[in-house]
Amino acid sequence: MGGKILRALVLGGVLAATAAGAQAREAKDASAGDEAPRHHSRTTDGARTSITPYIEVSQAVFAELSPGSDVLTYTNLAAGIDAGIAGRNTQGAVSVRYERRIGWGDNDPDGDVISGLARVASQIVPGTLRIDAGALAARARIDGSGGTTLNPLVSRGDSSSQIYSFYAGPTLTTHAGDVALAASYSAGYTRVEDPKGFRSAPGVPAVEVVDDTFTQAATLSAGVRPGDVLPVGVTASAGWAREDISNLDQRVDQKYARLDFVYPVTLDVALLAGVGYEDVEISSRDALRDASGAPVIGRNGRLRTDKSAPRQLAYDVDGLIWDAGVMWRPSRRTALEAHVGRRYGSTSVYGSFAYAPDARSSLNVSVYDNVAGFGGTVRRALEDLTTDFETSRNPLTGDLNGCVIARANGTCLNSALSSVAAATFRARGVAASYNLSLGRISAGIGAGYDRRKFIAAPGTVLALANGVIDENYYLAGYLGARLDERSAISANLYANWFQSGLSAAGDATALGANASYYRRLTDRLSASAAVGIDGIEREDPFIDQWGASALVGLRYSL
């Protein structure tokens, strides 16, 4: 019942945002092609809107190549909406899709799938008060270590799960003379619907899959620009972030206060420095135990929390933090920022690079270091998502591919969604994406590395996970081309290498590729065909899984 309510809230919230016109540009479904009909209107602030609702029917076949040879046949009935707006006060993008799969045989796949992505920014009071919001719905395959793979193989088992997340919050900016003042608050909710929430094996840490999390973050700052009062720019800021994870009542609580300085060396280069204080605590309770001392599993498949047990600290770091860096901005199309310092009790490195030499291409690289749980990581990824994006979808399943396409800042969600293990962690990694558009041809690639060192309280059922490391390498690429005014082709590929210290199954490699052809039959009716292959390979003695799919379908744009 709770899952149905959550799906309705996510779908209703996304559609409400669309109906309000909160869009930046149309998000094009790869399976529908680049020439799908678009319906435009003009808002009161001169924004250009594009809203394309659609319904779709397709017939698919899945052939198991390994370890068996079953052939599954099913019909897809889908409805969705792609929309966008770019106005003076409102920008955003939404792509949401609901699909019903109907199997032809007793063992063929059945079920409902919701997938979508939304990011909205609206100036309630121009220049002073802004509201930001974002939402995600995705299907993922979860293995025994909690590692996930987007675009999962068609499965008759229960390894596929739905992930939902959304956040919203205001940002206030104003001035008091030369002093710039800012304040922000955001709250978010994330849920993972997984029928096998607890996975255990002899001699390895127990893996508990996230149930749901609630996150909050607030910041205050006051600062002056270089030259206004002093030769250097000075900003004083304070912040608080908290993540409450339902599994074992885990809690991440972070507070900080700091001073940041900016010293311009040239018109293009500035030196950066910051110093402050932080206090980070992570705590949890133990699982409820039965008479034999074994943890009790609840009806939802997760560990039951012992509410009477005292809260135990898993991580407690406080003290001085500092960093030094450089900022280089030779033009509005190029920006580099790099920092090195001390945070979370050890050396910390982070930064970003963005380069868009023209309107046809963009390169983005980010290096990160943070402490969070799964919900906080997904919320941060949604906050970083540009309001001007296009989704990339698997033409065979309709699922999100993980990477989005954007003129200013293309990005991938793969690192945020790489694992749904419930334990908190320190995440370090790098993510990069490159997008290119040349007339009728568009292409892009995303790659990254994510390293998570898990944090768990001693004396609890998750204690064995403390200090264990998961590593994830990923690569995703796409290519699209318009053949003529009525037809287009596209291709996608992905690779994911997951190395987990939480699993007895060893390393796993997920690989896949697909290609599709689109043809517009009338102004509103289009046809498509697609083929693809997907596989997951593991170390011996575990069995590899490979399968091939094919699909033909019709879409009617309303």
Domain of residue 437: give its range. 2-557
Q: Is the dihedral of CA 12, 14, 20, 21 positive or negative?
A: negative
Convert 353-376 to b/e letters by CB count within 10 Å (16 or more is b): bbebeeeebbbbbbbbbbbbbbbb
pLDDT in tens, 469-518: 999 999 999 999 999 999 999 999 999 898 887 766 567 888 999 999 99
Written in H, E and C, the secondary structure of 36-58 is: CCCEEEECCCCCEEEEEEEEEEE
Q: Taking residues 240-252, what's their average pLDDT?
A: 96
Percent of the chain with pLDDT over 90: 58
Please tell me the predicted confidence (pLDDT) of residue 504.
61
pTM: 0.85
pLDDT in tens, 337-356: 999 999 999 999 999 999 99
What Å distances lie between residue 294 and 32, 95, 203, 286, 302, CA to CA?
Answer: 51, 44, 15, 12, 13
The amino acid occupying position 48 is: R
Report the CATH number at residue 95.
Answer: 2.40.170
> Rounded CA gap, 268 and 337, in Å?
12
The amino acid occupying position 464 is: L
pLDDT grade for 181, boundaries at 50, 70 and 90: very high
Please tell me the predicted confidence (pLDDT) of residue 177.
93
Residue 90 near residue 121 (C-beta atoms within 8 A)? yes
220-228 contacts, C-beta under 8 A, 24 or more apart: 220/182, 220/183, 221/180, 221/181, 221/182, 221/183, 222/179, 222/180, 222/181, 222/182, 223/179, 223/180, 223/260, 224/178, 224/179, 224/180, 225/178, 225/180, 226/262, 226/263, 226/264, 226/270, 227/264, 228/178
Query: What is the count of structural domains for the chain?
Result: 1
pLDDT grade for 392, boundaries at 50, 70 and 90: confident
pLDDT grade for 40, boundaries at 50, 70 and 90: very low
Please tell me the predicted confidence (pLDDT) of residue 257.
98
Q: Taking residues 42-61, what's their average pLDDT?
A: 79
Please tell me the predicted confidence (pLDDT) of residue 53.
96
In 3D space, the residue among 468, 279, 457, 252 whose CA is nearest the CA of residue 373 turns out to be 252
* Mean of per-residue pLDDT scores for the chain: 85
